[in-house]
Structure 1
Amino acid sequence: MDTAIDYMYGLRVKNIRYSMDYSRTGADGTGDCSGTVYAALRKAGASDAGSVVNTDSMHDWLVKNGFRLIAHNKEWTAKRGDIVIFGEKGKSGGVAGHVVIFISNTQIIHCTWKSDSVNGVFIENEVTACPYSMGWYVYRLNQTPSSSQPKVSAQ
């Protein structure tokens, strides 16, 4: 997960701009929440989904890559590397969803739009930045993955 988080930090340093069009991964200087998390996890060894996932398709893709759902609309003890998808599963594509990576138990890194002049990758406090009112799903990488599925390396 450190590799994925480092990738997100790299996008922050590059000052990418938020866009749900174009690459979505940061490759062309633009990215969105799910595209940048997808690219970060791919950099860390996750499988190619065939196309950039969105917040809806990310659920199944995370499970295929060794993550497990540890909380759904309930409190949990956040850890570095937790991935949280906001929005109702099956209805969270586009602006109806959001995804973040926890970098500590209180801080997240994510690609978001705040205004035309303030958008891109930010490190923020989860309490003030996460849209919990949309509903949430927390995924955590299994520390002892089975050998039958491709996995993201826990580093």
Structure 2
Amino acid sequence: MAIDKNAIPAWFEQRRGTITYSMEGSHNGSDGTGDCSGTVTQAVYEAGASKPSYLSSTVTLGGYLAANGFVRISANQDWNAERGDVILMSWSPDMSGSGGAGGHTGVMMDGSNFISCDYSTGGQYNTAITSWNWNDYYNRSVPMYIEVWRYEGEQPDNPAPLDPPTNSVSAIERFKQAGNEYTLYNSIRVDEVKFENGLWQAINKKLAGGDDYNYTYNGLPLAIMHRTDGGDENNVGVGSMVAFDDGYNHGTIDEYDEATNGCRIDMGEYGDIWINADELLKL
């Protein structure tokens, strides 16, 4: 799988003025909020990398990059920057202490300028994507440790689109190739709400595979979901945007139904959910 290095900084460049910094929302910009590591993970994925099983933190991002053909070309050393270089930084002696506010990550736009999703504007609405001269940024933030990762694989003949890559392999087959792992990070539109089987549930018709849905099989338990549109958590209705809570937003698919293109996910005490494989791949 080839990755288009140019598409990584382009992901950020095209989202200036559209993302608000938050460590509580989608993390990857899908609900209009993002943080540094979630947006870098999403940008690398949409540039052609493998579908991540979860959105990396600054602690784990290096592993995701290495698994997709990136090489660490610098560890606390000067380097000749190129467009698409991914920078990891920590205010601890190494990346193990970079979690949360202890680190940062972004991408080089060219040989001297850096772009990322950051909190430099204090979380002001739609101002999280900022760019800086790298030397100025480094001198301003003074990290104790930095790593530089560069994709060393073959570049595609045509730039990768800024949508998740698709091919002729079915969604179910792609999940199998990825170890049956799934993510449920993106926001989901509520098409219907009902109290069924002892709990409030929502339906998204696309995830259910169409209009022929059933709450027992396709209902999304609202008890393990939260609103991402700023609305009242106790008043979820048609048109509300919701996402799965931490602990329920990634895992392993338990069963496939090839005939209906369905994936069964065991949500523990909240029962099973059958989700259309093509739509699950987008989450």
Cα distance in 2 between the residues matched to 1:82 and 1:24: 21
Conservation of the 8 A alpha-carbon contact between 1:5 and 1:101: yes
Q: Specify which of 49, 54, 64 is matched with residue 51 of structure 1.
A: 54
Percent identical pairs in the alignment equals 31
Instruction: Provide structure 1 residue ranges, at least 5 long, that are not aligned to the other structure.
Output: 145-151
Q: Specify which of 111, 117, 124 is matched with residue 124 of structure 2.
A: 117
Bigger mean CA deviation after superposition, 65-74 or 110-119: 110-119
User: What is the total number of aligned residue pairs between the two structures?
Assistant: 147
Task: Indicate the SS of the match to 2:55.
Answer: coil
Conservation of the 8 A alpha-carbon contact between 1:19 and 1:31: yes
Is residue 134 of structure 1 aligned with residue 144 of structure 2? yes
Residue equivalent to 2:114: 108
Question: Which 4+ residue blocks in structure 1 deviate beyond 6 angstroms?
Answer: none
Cα distance in 2 between the residues matched to 1:19 and 1:153: 33
Cα distance in 2 between the residues matched to 1:55 and 1:63: 13
The structure with the largest alpha-carbon Rg is: 2
Cα distance in 2 between the residues matched to 1:13 and 1:43: 19
Residue 153 of structure 1 and its aligned partner are, at CA, apart by 5.3
Q: Deviations over 1:65-115 (max 9, x none)?
A: 100000000111111111110012211111011001001111011000122
Cα distance in 2 between the residues matched to 1:12 and 1:117: 13
Conservation of the 8 A alpha-carbon contact between 1:44 and 1:153: no
Task: Indicate the SS of the match to 1:127.
Answer: helix
Residue equivalent to 2:85: 82
Conservation of the 8 A alpha-carbon contact between 2:83 and 2:108: yes
Instruction: Provide structure 2 residue ranges, at least 5 long, that are not aligned to the other structure.
Output: 160-283
Q: Deviations over 1:115-135 (max 9, x none)?
A: 243740012111122334331
Cα distance in 1 between the residues matched to 2:123 and 2:32: 15
Task: Indicate the SS of the match to 2:97.
Answer: coil
Residue equivalent to 1:21: 24
- RMSD between aligned residues: 1.8
Alignment of 1:83-98 (within 5 A): 83-87=86-90, 88-98=94-104
The one-letter amino acid paired with 1:101 is: V
The one of the two structures with greater contact order (alpha-carbon pairs below 8 A, sep at least 6) is 1
Cα distance in 2 between the residues matched to 1:38 and 1:79: 19
Q: Specify which of 25, 36, 40 is matched with residue 33 of structure 1.
A: 36
Is residue 11 of structure 1 aligned with residue 19 of structure 2? no
Cα distance in 2 between the residues matched to 1:117 and 1:13: 10
Cα distance in 1 between the residues matched to 2:118 and 2:35: 7
Residue 13 of structure 1 and its aligned partner are, at CA, apart by 3.9
Task: Indicate the SS of the match to 2:24.
Answer: coil
Q: 1:84 to 1:153 in 2, by over 3 A?
A: farther
Task: Indicate the SS of the match to 1:113.
Answer: coil
Q: Considering fraction of residues, name the structure with more helix.
A: 1
- What is the TM-score with the length of structure 2 in the denominator? 0.49
Q: 1:153 to 1:57 in 2, by over 3 A?
A: farther
The one-letter amino acid paired with 1:95 is: A
Bigger mean CA deviation after superposition, 117-126 or 42-51: 117-126
